[in-house]
Amino acid sequence: KAGVTQTPRYLIKTRGQQVTLSCSPISGHRSVSWYQQTPGQGLQFLFEYFSETQRNKGNFPGRFSGRQFSNSRSEMNVSTLELGDSALYLCASSLVPPPETQYFGPGTRLLVL
Amino acid sequence: QQQVKQSPQSLIVQKGGISIINCAYENTAFDYFPWYQQFPGKGPALLIAIRPDVSEKKEGRFTISFNKSAKQFSLHIMDSQPGDSATYFCAARGTRDSNYQLIWGAGTKLIIKP
């Protein structure tokens, strides 16, 4: 079985731009979670989707949004990028919530200049 | 806000030694405590997990010790090897009231010296 795939793997943007990241979960997995990882902050939970519905949301501003499609693929969008948004964005999938074993993708490294 | 406090932030252990990473949680209900291991350039991967009705779980060289009354749990790596060098995250899953949200520790960077 293919693992969780994330595209793109690397991205460079400038302040004020917006970005969309994509995540394809493991086949059959219907729950997708997104995390932001920075060296000083560890893993910060962004949101979780199941059956195209947002189940949980972390403490991030409204500039961060996401969605899930009927095939369980998910996207997250960050609008009006700030320098502090530079981070590794990780997607994790699991069969169904509540999450036990989460399978993480390799992440998308976003650099905001 | 619910928190899981993880320590130490970084740890250097000699090959063959015991690595110990600790996590503590606050006064709230959690029902599942996983540990994840992350190598550079990779996403985290589940290493071992425990439920609160068990005080210890062992898988090979990795052991979780769980102290429910103290609200603490720890990861022990016996006979630590250079290949164990990675960042380790503890987490705690909330119950139905919190929609089973996972709360993560800040991570511990472990270096095993040959």
Residue B48 CA: distances (Å) to CA of A103, B21, B73, B76, B98: 13, 13, 12, 11, 23
Q: Quick check: A105 and B41 CB within 8 A? A: no
- Percent helix, percent strand, percent coil in chain A, to nearest 5: 5, 55, 45
Residue written as tokens 């509540």? A98
Shortest CA distance from A40: residue in chain B: B106
- For residue A98, give the nearest of B89, B93, B106 by CB distance: B93
Give mean pLDDT, residues A11-38.
96
- For residue B43, give the nearest of A55, A56, A90 by CB distance: A90
Q: Quick check: A99 and B99 CB within 8 A? A: no
Whether the per-residue pLDDT at B27 is higher than 70: the answer is no
Give mean pLDDT, residues A84-104.
89
Model pLDDT for residues A45-72, shown as the tens digit of each residue = 999 999 999 998 999 999 999 999 999 9
Shortest CA distance from A48: residue in chain B: B101
* Most B-contacting residue of A7, A32, A43, A48 (CB-CB within 10 A), to test interface: A43
Q: What is the pLDDT of residue A112?
A: 97
Whether the per-residue pLDDT at B28 is higher than 70: the answer is no
Mean pLDDT, chain B, integer: 93
Q: What is the pLDDT of residue B56?
A: 96
Q: Within 13 Å of residue A20, how many CA atoms lie on the same side as its CB?
A: 6
Shortest CA distance from B103: residue in chain A: A45
Residues 50-89 of A with CB under 8 A from B: 55-56, 59
Model pLDDT for residues B38-80, shown as the tens digit of each residue = 999 899 999 999 998 999 999 999 999 999 999 999 999 999 9
The tokens describing A3, both together, are 């693992």
B14: CB partners within 8 A, 6+ apart = B80, B112, B113
- Which residues in chain A are contacts of B93 at CB distance < 8 A? 98-100
- Position B1 confidence tier, pLDDT thresholds 50, 70, 90: low
Give mean pLDDT, residues A2-9.
94
